Amino acid sequence: MADKNIYWSKTLLTGGTAPALDSIDGTDLQDGEVAHVWISGALYIYLLDVDSAAAEASPTIISPDTNAGNKRWILQGVRTINVGSDADGDMYYRASSVLARLAKGAANLKMFMNAGATAPEWAGGIYKGTISYDISTTGDATITGIPFKPSLIFFLANIDNHYSFSTGFAFDTAMTCLWANSSSTFAPGAYAWAINCAGGDAYISAIVMTADGFTYTKAKSSSPTGTGIVNYFALR
């Protein structure tokens, strides 16, 4: 028995011309041979059945134009590759049972899963912002406008025109900081940030990450006064 072939070079299904699958002379075909036909980014996979004799019904069944007999190409499946304009650095991923192309990202971008958890995307993943608030107040406040849901946020806080200083971070709902306490020493605290002044302490008792920012809960002891200035750096 002669070796079986895999036909790769076809780009049409019918028409009888050289690029078409049906142009292959049936005399040369053996049972179980395979043909791959590329059409507009889709790969059609066929298996040759020498006993089929089915009526031609493109794209499911393709009959050779010459010496067909009972031989038919039977479609096994179609795989789509959204190629687009390939460039060095492009990547491919599964998208609803096909392959889709992710164009390469700009320099120094990182790959993330998109908000819908359906496909990868490129993004910087870093955002800087500033909070200004009255430290005598309590309750929840919400920050929006961050172009992603933060996973980690660093905070640098002080009171306007005051020596008090705090540095801390929040990860999910966990928090920790170092702050200048009433003893004028740096001490750890279970807060995102904490500020001490002559009137008392202002601190953040809870952090909740949201889809485009975070909510923080202001708390205090005694009667602190002043304007809290907080610079934050959010990471995706």
Cα separation of 186 and 193, whole Å? 12
Predicted pLDDT at 1: 56
Are 71 and 65 contacting, i.e. CB atoms less than 8 angstroms apart? no
pLDDT, residue 94, reads 83
**Residues in the chain where the model's pLDDT stays below 70:** 1, 81-86, 183-184
Instruction: Decide: residue 116, CB within 10 A, 0-12 exposed, 13-18 middle, 19+ buried.
Output: exposed
Domain 126-235, CATH class in plain words: mainly beta
Predicted confidence at residue 34, as pLDDT, reads 97
Q: Is 51 exposed, middle or buried (0-12, 13-18, 19+ CB in 10 A)?
A: exposed
Amino acid at 128: K
Q: Which residues contact 31 (CB under 8 A, 6 or more apart)?
A: 48, 49, 50, 51
pLDDT on residue 27: 96
Residue ranges of the chain assigned to CATH 2.60.40: 126-235
The H or E element containing residue 127 is: strand 126-134
C-alpha 76/C-alpha 195 separation (Å) is 69
Closest to 236 (Cα-Cα) out of 217, 212, 202: 212
Tell me the longest C-alpha to C-alpha distance in the chain: 99
